[in-house]
Structure 1
Amino acid sequence: MSDAAQPTIAEVRAAAEAVKTAIDRHLEAVSSPSTTDDPAVFSAYEQLAAAAITYDQLLYEAYDEVTPFEVPGDEGAGGYHGPEQPEAISVLIRRDYLITDPKRLRGQAERLDSSLTPGGGPGGGVNAAIGVVFGEYEPDEIAARSEEFGLEEGDSTLWVAAAEPTEPGEWLPEPFENADPQLLICRFDVSEVYDDEEPED
């Protein structure tokens, strides 16, 4: 074991409880999928894998022991099946927002585009305001300033997937048609469902 601060017994137990919870969620997802490629099954798989890895790491750091199983990688049914050295990658981003303050959103848009009808009349409604704001600011800036724009952040995900090189404009008509989980190199999800829960005594 290293000389770094070791995980506490409570941290290891909390990680074990997280694995148990993830197993239950995974079993629930696979036993009642809504479609053949139910995204809930894939999400539950990813959560279980992450929880197992965390527990394994903490167990090793605290007790110099490991679990008797490995999280499947390329060889797993839900794992990566793409090339070892992809020629290109696709970065797929989804961010959801609630429109909590339409007046504030329109106000921001009107300051950017004087052609919008003040107060949200014809030509100055929420849809027009969204177009102006998202046309002016980068997605990361909107995420950082969402409250300022009358928005509330919901779930978000970022996928980095292996891809074949394409010609300019080739996939633009249907940009998300070929989002294949088996070409996924890594992903980053932000959601309240992943918030740490206080372990029960």
Structure 2
Amino acid sequence: MSDAAQPTAAEVRAAAEAVKAALDRHLAAVERRSGEDDPAVYEAFNELAAAAEEYDELLYDRYDEVTPFEIPGTEDTLPPYTGPEEPNALSVLIRRDYTVVEPQRLLAQAQRVAAAEDETAGGAANGTTHGALGILFGEYEPDEIASRHKEFGLDEGDSTLWVTVTDEPPEPGEWLDSPFDQIDPQRVVCRFDVSAVFDDEPDDSEDDEDDDLEPLRSQDDLDLEEGDLRAER
């Protein structure tokens, strides 16, 4: 950032005061909370997160310093649950991503399935990846695909599972044309996410240092080398 665009010291000070005020409002909301999912606490949390982020950015731009705390991003936080206390209907939404890493293995598995069921179905794959996917996902349940994905030449990506509640069970076929378009985040009971971004980054520095070291030698090896030196003399 250029000097002309840098925030003023007064702006940084005002942002710091905004964080202090947001902290007070958050504490007051927590003290007055009416339940586990009190919307006032949720709102105060978001305000505190926004104020802290603003202060952190201005502090860095002005003084090249950062705050010693980090508030989780609010974009991944579910809003308070507003559904029925005793739901009698629910929906489970699952998304799993895969990468086709071994197309030939995928095709071979699909051809075996097709040959076992119907000789004419073998033409559905016809050497195409999308045809093979249609056969395999038509034959196996999603959970079995997930547990055996390597057998099918697939590599796992991110996955998520959302459990949502509804007031009444939908009519048969009601949402099949657009199954994911009418999801109310405030009706989500729980969610489970799996992603490589959650994995701890391996510490390769120690491994790299170990690679540079010579293998350890036993005392017998050292004795033999010492004997060879005496023989040469």
Q: 2:119 aligned with 1:116, yes or no? A: no
What pairs up with 1:98-109 in 2 under 5 angstroms? 98-109=99-110
1: CA distance, partners of 2:202 / 2:129: 40
1: CA distance, partners of 2:84 / 2:179: 21
SS of equivalent residue, structure 1 residue 82: coil
Identity across matched positions, percent: 54
Q: 2:86 aligned with 1:90, yes or no? A: no
Structure 1 ranges of 4+ moved more than 3 A: 196-199
2:159 maps to which of 156, 162, 166: 156
1: CA distance, partners of 2:138 / 2:202: 41
SS of equivalent residue, structure 2 residue 122: coil
Structure-1 residue corresponding to 2:172:
168
1:142 maps to which of 140, 145, 153: 145
2: CA distance, partners of 1:79 / 1:97: 31
2: CA distance, partners of 1:186 / 1:127: 33
Structure-1 residue corresponding to 2:52:
none
Say how many residue pairs are matched: 129
SS of equivalent residue, structure 2 residue 165: strand
2: CA distance, partners of 1:162 / 1:128: 35
In the superposition, the TM-score normalised over structure 1's length comes to: 0.59
Distance 1:152 1:185, change over 3 A: same
Letter in 2 for 1:138: E
**C-alpha displacement at 1:81, in angstroms?**
1.6
**C-alpha displacement at 1:198, in angstroms?**
7.7
C-alpha distance after superposition, 1:64-111 (max 9, x if no partner): xxxxxxxxxxxxxx2212111112000000000000011100000000
C-alpha distance after superposition, 1:155-201 (max 9, x if no partner): 000000011311111111111111221110011111111224589xx
Q: 2:198 aligned with 1:194, yes or no? A: yes
Question: For structure 1, which segment, 187-196 or 95-104, has the greater mean C-alpha deviation from structure 2 after superposition?
Answer: 187-196
SS of equivalent residue, structure 2 residue 178: coil
Question: For structure 1, which segment, 101-110 or 82-91, has the greater mean C-alpha deviation from structure 2 after superposition?
Answer: 82-91
**C-alpha displacement at 1:131, in angstroms?**
0.4
The higher radius of gyration belongs to: 2
Judge conservation of contact 1:116–1:124 (CA < 8 Å) in 2. Answer: no
Question: For structure 1, which segment, 89-98 or 172-181, has the greater mean C-alpha deviation from structure 2 after superposition?
Answer: 172-181
Structure-2 residue corresponding to 1:65:
none
2: CA distance, partners of 1:104 / 1:117: 17
Letter in 2 for 1:108: Q
In the superposition, the TM-score normalised over structure 2's length comes to: 0.51
SS of equivalent residue, structure 2 residue 133: helix
What pairs up with 1:12-161 in 2 under 5 angstroms? 20-21=69-70, 23=71, 26=73, 41=75, 43=76, 45=77, 78-114=79-115, 115-117=121-123, 123-161=126-164
Distance 1:198 1:152, change over 3 A: closer
1:178 maps to which of 175, 182, 204: 182
